[in-house]
């Protein structure tokens, strides 16, 4: 099927980025959230980000204006049921995602494809809670969505070929590259990335290095654009912990045990950039290490 309209569930960091790139690519986008304030903030942020692309010569002014007209918002989840594709981009908690799909299913068109932007949760398990496991798959964008070129496409055990091809066509229309991943905990990117971040936290926890020395070592010694602790703050320490727990529970291997220090930061509510404190304190002009 040809996809023309897309519903995006969640107006947070990932949801607004997904809506941004879809609208620029010519799709009609309906963005849903539980808060009108979140929806208004998301639309304002999308406009600022697209305007920045215009100022840098990456997007034409006419295309930018057209893209903004393609984005509509709603507090009513059932209104997404008339779209051709739904991308769920809510918080990384399975209970929340399941509740969204169960509320949405009765309102869907027969051919609507359901997808989740989950970074780690079983696609097969999520699909089993819907009426269309064959039309369900993982559609995992990287953050920040407008910048990052990769999208992981994850088939559940029941996903059919036409669903995969329809989602692949969307990725290609966005000008991004698809990586096909099997439905195992954390898929490809986070299966490799999160244990590295977790090991960096262990390195800090055990006193092998400070926040600054760990990040500088990976930036200058391994040519990483961001240090692992800086990256963890950017992603969100709660998200990092959630993915490590999925790996630990799903693969039953002690090498995926979340570092106690990562758990402690999350318990403190120091989740990184979004709360102004994580492995760095962002409340001043320059980020300062917290350890």
Q: Which of 135, 125, 140 minimizes the C-alpha distance to 105?
A: 135
Active site residue 140: yes
The catalytic position among 117, 152, 198, 230 is 152
Q: What whole-number distance in Å separates Cα of residue 32 and Cα of residue 80?
A: 8
Regarding beta strands 177-181 and 5-9, do their DSSP bridges make them parallel or antiparallel, or are they unpaired?
A: unpaired
How far apart are the C-alpha atoms of 150 and 82, rounded to whole Å?
Answer: 28
In angstroms, the CA 161 to CA 138 distance is 14
Q: Which of 20, 38, 122, 140 is catalytic?
A: 140
Is 245 among the catalytic positions? no
Name the active-site residue from 119, 120, 122, 198. 119
**119 labelled catalytic:** yes
CB–CB of 7/86 below 8 Å?
Answer: yes
Terminal-to-terminal C-alpha distance of the chain: 53
- Length of the chain (residues): 291
Selection from 95, 94, 97, 96 nearest residue 86 by Cα: 97
**Which one of 38, 122, 190, 198 is the catalytic residue?**
190
CA atoms of 248 and 236, how far apart (whole Å): 19
Catalytic residues: 119, 140, 152, 190
């Amino acid at each position: 099927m040809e996809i023309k309209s897309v519903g995006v569930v969640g107006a947070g960091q990932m949801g607004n980025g997904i809506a941004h790139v879809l609208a620029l690519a010519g799709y009609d986008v309906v963005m849903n959230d539980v808060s009108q304030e979140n929806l208004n903030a998301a639309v304002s942020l999308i406009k600022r980000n697209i305007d920045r692309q215009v100022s840098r010569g990456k997007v034409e002014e006419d295309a930018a204006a057209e893209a903004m007209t393609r984005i509509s918002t709603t507090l009513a989840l059932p209104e997404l049921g008339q779209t051709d594709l739904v991308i769920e981009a809510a918080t990384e908690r399975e209970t929340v995602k399941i509740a969204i799909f169960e509320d949405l299913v009765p309102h869907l068109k027969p051919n609507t494809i359901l997808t989740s932007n989950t970074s780690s949760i079983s696609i097969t398990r999520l699909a089993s809670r819907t009426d269309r496991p064959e039309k369900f798959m993982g559609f995992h964008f990287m953050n920040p969505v407008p910048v990052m070129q990769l999208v992981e496409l994850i088939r559940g055990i029941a996903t059919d070929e036409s669903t995969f091809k329809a989602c692949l066509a969307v990725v290609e229309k966005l000008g991004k590259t698809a990586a096909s991943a099997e439905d195992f905990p954390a898929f490809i990117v986070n299966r490799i990335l999160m244990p590295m971040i977790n090991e960096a936290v262990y390195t800090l926890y055990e006193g092998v290095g400070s926040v600054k020395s760990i990040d500088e070592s990976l930036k200058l010694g391994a040519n990483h654009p961001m240090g692992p602790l800086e990256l963890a703050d950017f992603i969100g320490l709660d998200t990092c912990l959630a993915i490590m727990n999925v790996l630990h529970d799903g693969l039953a291997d002690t090498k995926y045990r979340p570092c106690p220090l990562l758990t402690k930061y999350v318990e403190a509510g120091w989740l990184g950039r979004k709360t102004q404190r994580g492995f760095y304190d962002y409340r001043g002009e320059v980020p300062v290490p917290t350890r």
